[in-house]
A and B are shown apart, each in its own frame.
Chain A
Amino acid sequence: MRVLACIKRVPITGGRILLTADARAINTQHLGFTMSPHEECGVEEAARMIEAYRGDSVVLTLGPPEAVEQLRDAMALGIDRAIHLQTDGQEWDAEGTASALTDAIRTEEGASGRFDIIFFGNESADSGGFQVGARVAHALGRPLVTGLKKVTLEGSAVRCEQEVEGGRDVYVVPLPAVLTVKEGLNLPRYPSVPGRMRARTRPVAVSTPARPAPRLELVRLAVPAGQGRRAESLGAGAGAAPAVVEMLQKAGVL
């Protein structure tokens, strides 16, 4: 079988978000980068499927040259090879992102065969547009199931569990399918040293698509006002216990 995972490079923002001077982006000068936890679970699931059923797994990203780090991270988790649609660092809107991904998927499938499953994150960690997977699925004419916490192959179909209030809804759809997943789908492995070494030698196919004008146009970003919590000290060490208990009593929970 063939499985694809789509990932996006995002900064690890830590305790406080700092913006660039023009307030159009996060100041990432001192930050590390990662793929979103949702997408990492998609990568892990793709790797496990190919380990179980054999075949070919591919990871795809649209992003700046440095996004090759996240592609290598995915290959360290077991993905066979990568496709990198390189941008000049400018951001794309979700429509533009989806159409570039769709084109790349069509080209890849034309050369190497259809993907049985394409994994996306339910939403990206940074922009949270909730839509790239839906747009790609529609363009390819494939069924889409979203927000999944469990995925099981059943012959030529896939059983999907989606978290909802009061449990999980179940969908069974025929392959090929597009699935968007959430963290908790699985516990991604910690990449082994040999896995990391292997990832360095695995192939990354690079191309540079043209960026269409965005229709959802970013004007500026802002950090929301704090919630005005006062941080009153109840003391230090075990001696603070009585003050804590009094606070809990006042709050009416004890």
Chain B
Amino acid sequence: MTTVLVLMDESDASRQALTLARQFGEPRSMRMDAVKPFAPDAVAAALARAADDLNVSAVFAPGTDRGNEVIARLAARTGLPFAANCIAATPGDPATLTRLRWGGSLLEEARLHSPRPLITVAPHTVPADSGPAPVEVDVKAPAEADLVVRVVDHVAPSNGGLSLAEAKVIVSGGRGVGSKEGFAIIEDLAGLLGAAVGCSRAVTSAGWRPHSDQVGQTGTKVTPDVYIACGISGATQHMAGLKGAKRILAINSDPQAPLMLNADYTVTGDLKEIVPAISAEIRKRR
């Protein structure tokens, strides 16, 4: 059996990458934080060296920002093709794989012509491996040139408030909310539910809310128990952020809006009447 190399951190995404990696060979691992502070070129260089030393048949990493960035650098320095965010992969010549496009709204089946496939695995698309942890490879001291790009400082998150990515309930508003001031009713309901406020890109582009509130492909991917979408049409790029939502309630004046067809619960009508009525009903029952 051939050997494969897996770049891993503590995340579930890493154990998921390990699942696909095992289909290509016997895994050995390297730690994402093999070089501290984080220096992505140094990690890529260490991966390149270990891949040669062990003559591995493939290199895997989680499809997280860090995983994708390190493998992209490895691909650039070794001149090998790189398939990002795969959900399935089969070894062979060529290797065949399925990867995510459009933030998960579209699947691509592809062939990878490469002596050493470089593959990242899209988080939460493959079951996590529960087998024994692979043996770690040793990492030598990095070259000076690979430390030019390294983390020199860290700044804490600016809003001390609820993190959108971790919120259990999200009340989210779209263009249908009508204005920056219109978000008062969204904030009121969110306050009653202990929820985070979210929004669509139409809202951030208009400057009504900061980009840190945006849900979707180029915003935040969310995983709440309940997502309440008020006046959001449900473009594919918005829905790309909702795949992990347990329940979706859509409030929209247009019953045919894509979000109304892809929700668990719907209320048809004017959000400016419905949202305050829900808040009033919650207050009444307290």
Contacts and interface: CB of A to CB of B under 8 A. Distances in A.
B65 A147 contact: yes
A193 interface: no
Interface of A: 13-17, 26, 36-38, 93-95, 98, 122-123, 125-131, 133-135, 137-139, 143-147, 161-164, 166-174, 182-184, 187-188, 215-224, 226-227, 229-242, 244-245, 247-248, 251-254
Q: Which of A137, A145, A229 has the most CB of B within 10 A?
A: A229
Nearest to B99: A128
A165 to B, nearest CB: 8
Contacts of B72: 130-131, 133-135, 146
Contact of A223 (B100, B107, B169): B107
A13 B111 contact: no
A159 to B, nearest CB: 9
A238 B273 contact: yes
B218 A36 contact: yes
A184 B211 contact: yes
Contacts of A233: 265-268
Interface string B225-264: 1100000011111000001001111100000011011111
Interface string B104-137: 1111111111100000100000000000000000
B104 A166 contact: no
Given A131-B76, A146-B69, A168-B154, A229 B108 contact: no
15 contacts: A17-B105, A36-B218, A128-B101, A130-B69, A130-B84, A167-B155, A187-B204, A215-B113, A219-B96, A221-B108, A231-B264, A232-B265, A242-B281, A244-B278, A245-B281
B268 A170 contact: no
A250 to B, nearest CB: 9
A125 B217 contact: yes
Contacts of B82: 94, 129-131, 216
Interface stretch (B16-24, B51-59, B144-152, B180-188): B144-152
Contacts of A247: 247, 249, 265
B282 interface: yes
B263 A15 contact: no
B258 A15 contact: yes
Interface residues of B, number: 96
B156 interface: yes
What are the 7 tightest A-B residue pairs by CB atom distance, in nearest-first order?
A15-B258, A184-B211, A138-B76, A238-B277, A134-B72, A170-B153, A241-B277
Nearest to A165: B165
Contacts of A26: 106
B207 interface: yes
B233 A241 contact: no
A251 B193 CA distance: 12
B172 interface: no
B31 interface: no
Contacts of B281: 241-242, 244-245
B157 interface: yes
B94 interface: yes
B64 to A, nearest CB: 9
B264 A13 contact: no
A15 B282 contact: no
Contacts of B66: 164
Contact of A129 (B84, B154, B168, B243): B84
Nearest to A230: B264
B84 A128 contact: yes
Given A134-B75, A236-B267, A252-B225, A146 B155 contact: no
Contact of B76 (A127, A137, A222, A239): A137
Nearest to B256: A15
Given A215-B114, A224-B107, A248-B193, A16 B269 contact: no
Given A130-B69, A144-B73, A170-B152, A244 B285 contact: no
B148 A174 contact: yes
A215 B112 contact: yes
B2 interface: no
A80 to B, nearest CB: 24
B162 interface: no
Nearest to B80: A215
A196 B106 CA distance: 33
B142 interface: no
Contacts of B223: none
B95 to A, nearest CB: 10
A248 B226 contact: yes
A217 B111 contact: yes
Q: Which of A125, A145, A238 has the most CB of B within 10 A?
A: A238
